[in-house]
Amino acid sequence: MTEYLERPSGTIAYDDSSNAGPLIVAAPGMGDLRSAYRHLGPLLVAAGYRFAAMDLRGAGESSADWDDYSDAAIAEDIAALVRHLEGGPAVLIGNSLAAASAVIAAAEEPDLIAGLVLIGPFVRDVPMPAWQRKAFRAMLTPPWGRRAWVSYYRKQMYPLATPPDHADHVDRLGRSLAEPGRFRAFRSLAFNSHADAESCLDGLSIPALVVMGTADPDFPDPQAEARYVADRLDATLLLVDGAGHYPHAEAPERVAPHLIEFLEQHHAA
């Protein structure tokens, strides 16, 4: 059931398992919904953890119009939700762009955050060819940009396996992005700089797990990027062979045991 957190410039939608146990707060990547964690979350709840997943500002059931879509602004939303749930310190799960916000939140609120799980993480401005940047920007240009993203998400982002309810999830994503203001918000997120997150990496002293699909199409060399992030954070590294940008959705049964082992070490009751 959707709940809402009031923020100074809008509302953040989230759901909360509400059970007893150490708190985990999960945020999806840009252009996705909190239901991306619909298969991973129940596995963590079954292991004894309280699991809350949020929609990013501008996405899903969060309000559409905000004056700031930066990584730092999303980090403030994440920290505010942890405080609101009164379950901290919490472990944060951040996918893609939300990994950058999770890093910033941990740097800004060290007493509030117990650990990080970074999945397909963009925590710096990853070097890539200029043509690739231009192609991505062109793909997301109105009026075709929304349909192009939904098609790309449907066909390219899950190379290992699609969940049995993948079609329903993608259809829900497409309907959400068609709502007034949401694709504009998505485009604002899509071109964020992650320099603020990179500046926090070396100063963090916090348990971290980096999860990367070896076939993630968003990185020129996903394994090299995963090792770079893990080295900067002195983090545990999990490479999910053949998975794309959403290994938590493609292979939750492979990701969950490693995540639970990490949580047992660093976030026990």
What CATH number has the domain bearing residue 186?
3.40.50.1820
| Tokens found for residue 248 | 């938590």
The CA dihedral of 151, 152, 157, 163, to the nearest 10 degrees, is 0
Across 1-16, average pLDDT: 96
Helix (H) or strand (E) holding 27: strand 23-27
Question: Is 129 in contact with 137 (CB distance < 8 Å)?
Answer: no
Across 189-201, average pLDDT: 94
Three-state secondary structure call for residue 6? strand
Whether the per-residue pLDDT at 240 is higher than 90: the answer is yes
Tell me, what amino acid is at 31?
G
Confidence of residue 39 (pLDDT cuts 50, 70, 90): very high
First to last CA, the chain: 25
Q: What's the pTM?
A: 0.95
Name the average pLDDT for the chain: 95
| Tokens found for residue 154 | 């449907």
CA gap 27, 49 in Å, rounded: 16
Tell me, what amino acid is at 220?
P
| Tokens found for residue 252 | 């939750």
Please state the domain count of the chain. Answer: 1
CA gap 66, 55 in Å, rounded: 14
Confidence of residue 269 (pLDDT cuts 50, 70, 90): low
Whether the per-residue pLDDT at 41 is higher than 90: the answer is yes
Give me the domain span that covers residue 154.
Answer: 3-266
CA gap 257, 269 in Å, rounded: 17
Whether the per-residue pLDDT at 33 is higher than 80: the answer is yes
Query: Which residues, including other chains, have CB under 8 Å from residue 20's CB and lie 6 or more apart?
Result: 50
Task: Give pLDDT, residue 140.
Answer: 86
Tell me, what amino acid is at 188?
S
Question: Is 117 in contact with 211 (CB distance < 8 Å)?
Answer: yes
